[in-house]
Amino acid sequence: MGYIVEMGELFLAGNYKRERLAFVKGTGTRLFTEDGEEYLDFTSGIAVCNLGHCHPELLEVLQTQAKLLWHTSNLYYLVSQAKLAEKLVELSFADKVFFANSGAEAVEAALKLARRFGYENFGKEKNQFIALENSFHGRTFGALSVTGQPKYWEGFEPLVPGVIFVKPNDKKALKEAFDDKICAIIIEPIQGEGGIYPLEKDFIELGRELCDKYNALLIFDEIQTGIGRTGKLFAYEHFGVEPDIMCLAKALANGLPLSAMLAKEKVMSALKPGTHASTFGGNPLACAVALKVLEIVSDPSFLKEVAIKGKVLKEKIESLNSFKSGIIKEVRGWGLLIGIEFYIPANEIYKKLLERKILVTQPKPNIIRLSPPLIINYREIDFFIENLKEIITLLKV
């Protein structure tokens, strides 16, 4: 194990703050090191492996497709790609789908589409974006430019111009930001990297209303919230508000690189041949797996169970305050995307969970994020709660 870590430190770019862990195998909700140590995964690879690791049905589909075709380019039609696009349209508000490989690429495609749509229909002056403070949309220049956390900008400015930031859920600021130059507003239904902050229904409803008034587009970044994570297939379903464009990635192919930008036909028509492309986007392997992912996750009984598990997990965390008050400030989120905000820095709690071989993420200094595989069972939820309870009970604060 030490050799793999040392090799990585020697030869890999230093842009990630990695734990000194190297996993060689995964199954279900568990990950295993070379030495056979077993970890309970409450991260899903940051909300990616929604069906856990090496899901047998996904593995079967992958192996079958691997024997047929890996790549031909998007100069031709592909069976699994066309079927996946059809399924996404069937399950969502959208009429058309563009495939890429990562969340940032899906966001880039959405931003380009919004500007192109504004240009074609209302002129070149309609090129401004509204984005939210505390948001995160990716690391490429376009996605970074609509990310409302200045810490990510350092050393990369000047960013793409034409972005106005407003505070989440501030309806007055949102109204003031809109005018005829706005081509789109981009929002996460739940701000993920920002610390698991759900947006309010009336704020999103106002966003939809203002987009309609000013001929702007509503973009939902569902890269972290999509594909069943919140107990609905897509988080926009919680609001009863449809976007014009939606970005998906992460869990779409359960770990294979695949993202999608979905839009209504009148909007997507602005992307004509030559305006945008992705060499590997919508490759046969990832699309075949994603089709099976959607088949499993879109089942109403599966989604209902995710919502119930999330409710149970959230309530059990909230109940821990009765054992030691003054530790947990707030528990936020929907389904199995939960943020625990502490009154104190959460790094020690994070480390203690890691020592007990439980993996979580820490998007902000005082916040622990839970995004376990959607197939997690109640015994594993109880195991997590028991360990968290012991850790916070022993904290010296």
Active site positions, annotated? 136, 221, 250
Give me 347's structure tokens: 């790094």
Residues 6+ apart with CB under 8 A from 151: none
Give the N- to C-terminal CA distance of the chain in Å, as an integer: 35
Strands 367-370 and 38-41: unpaired
| Residue from 15, 10, 13, 8 nearest 23 by CA | 8
Place of tokens 């060499």: 279
Rounded CA separation 124/118 (Å) = 7
Q: In this structure, are strands 217-221 and 197-198 parallel, antiparallel, or unpaired?
A: unpaired
- Please check whether residue 229 is in contact with residue 192, taking contact to mean a CB–CB distance below 8 angstroms: no
Sort strands 163-166 and 128-132 into parallel, antiparallel or unpaired.
Answer: parallel
Alpha helices in the chain (DSSP H): 2-11, 44-47, 56-66, 79-91, 103-122, 141-145, 171-177, 201-213, 265-268, 284-297, 300-318, 347-355, 378-394
Residues 6+ apart with CB under 8 A from 150: none
Q: How far apart, in whole angstroms, are the C-alpha atoms of residue 146 and residue 99?
A: 21
Helix, strand, or coil (residue 58):
helix
Amino acid in position 210: L
Q: Contact, 138 vs 147, CB < 8 A?
A: yes
Asked whether 252 and 291 are in contact (CB, 8 A), the reply is: no
Spell out the residues 6+ positions from residue 208 whose beta carbon is closer than 8 angstroms to its own: 218, 241, 242
* Residue 113, number of CB atoms within 10 A of its CB: 26
